[in-house]
Amino acid sequence: MQQELVKPVNGNYSIQIMDEERVDGTIAFNALLQNCLEGVVTIRLELQNMQCDKPIPVTANVMARKTRFNVANVWAKTPGEEFHYRFKYSSIFGQIRSGVSHKHIYVPPYQGGKYVVSEVFPDARAIPKQPHDEHFVTWRMPVGTKVCAARGGVLIAYRMDVQQREASPGNYVVVRHDDGTYGRYIHLQQNALFARLGQKVVVGQLLALSGASGAATYPQLSLQVYQPISGYTRRGFPLTFRTSKNEIVPLKPGKQYYL
């Protein structure tokens, strides 16, 4: 059965925190989820003559709703006196869950032949990456290669409007697995989406086409399986693959593979 392109929803592809004043003078920090179903946010607050209803920094799981998702509230300690607040935040797609144990064996996330695994992070020989980049796997592959689910799950986020050589991670899809981990497929071709937000996908199902979007320096596909720790950090898991010849291949940093 041939799958058809899905028209991506235009607009923001993120989790935003909005500070909104209520009629009683409380400042509510609400999460607005766009083109994603779930995430983790961390809000860092600087308060003067104010207090918060949660320990600072505030980290919370948030989910898509028709209205904004309330994360935290602050208010003046002494009414009538001057008060100030400043905040910044970050978010990661997925949810914090306890007891996550990752032992899965994946299939290569593409169709059309074998491709060179050019990078497995962390790699001491490579340009230093952020801590949340650990255990990224990157394949060199032609633009337009079919990118398929390396594991079944539910598509919880995507972005498809990024062109080549933009300063961003590029186009992506994120799939939630049944053990509480998440797989994100990055540097995809613009507007080449074949699954819908919230759709259950099975292993081997076509998700998108590979590209060179965002900060990619060559045509590639990157895959990371992770679990959020906060809105700023994620834990990546080392990946093991089962090839078409039924060989089990655990990928190690600093080595190249042909899968």
pLDDT at 176 over 90: yes
Q: Give the count of beta carbons closer than 10 Å to the beta carbon of residue 244.
A: 10
pLDDT at 124 over 70: no
Cβ within 8 Å of residue 128, ≥6 positions away: none
Asked if 89 and 216 count as a contact pair (C-beta separation under 8 A), the reply is no
CATH fold of 116-258, please? Answer: Glucose Permease (Domain IIA) (2.70.70)
Among 148, 43, 53, which residue's Cα sits nearest to residue 106?
A: 148
- Stretch 121-149: mean pLDDT, rounded? 76
DSSP 12-38: --EEEEEEEE-TTSPEEEEEEEESBSE
pLDDT at 10 over 70: no
Write down the pTM of the prediction: 0.93
Q: Which residue type occupies 236?
A: G
Report the C-alpha gap between 90 and 173 in whole angstroms: 19
Asked if 121 and 131 count as a contact pair (C-beta separation under 8 A), the reply is no
pLDDT at 209: 97
Tens digit of each residue's pLDDT (9 = 90 or more) over 145-162: 999 999 999 999 999 998
Peptide bond into 8 cis (omega under 30): no
Tell me which of 26-35, 62-71, 115-124, 218-227 is least confident: 115-124
pLDDT at 197 over 90: yes
Cβ within 8 Å of residue 178, ≥6 positions away: 152, 153
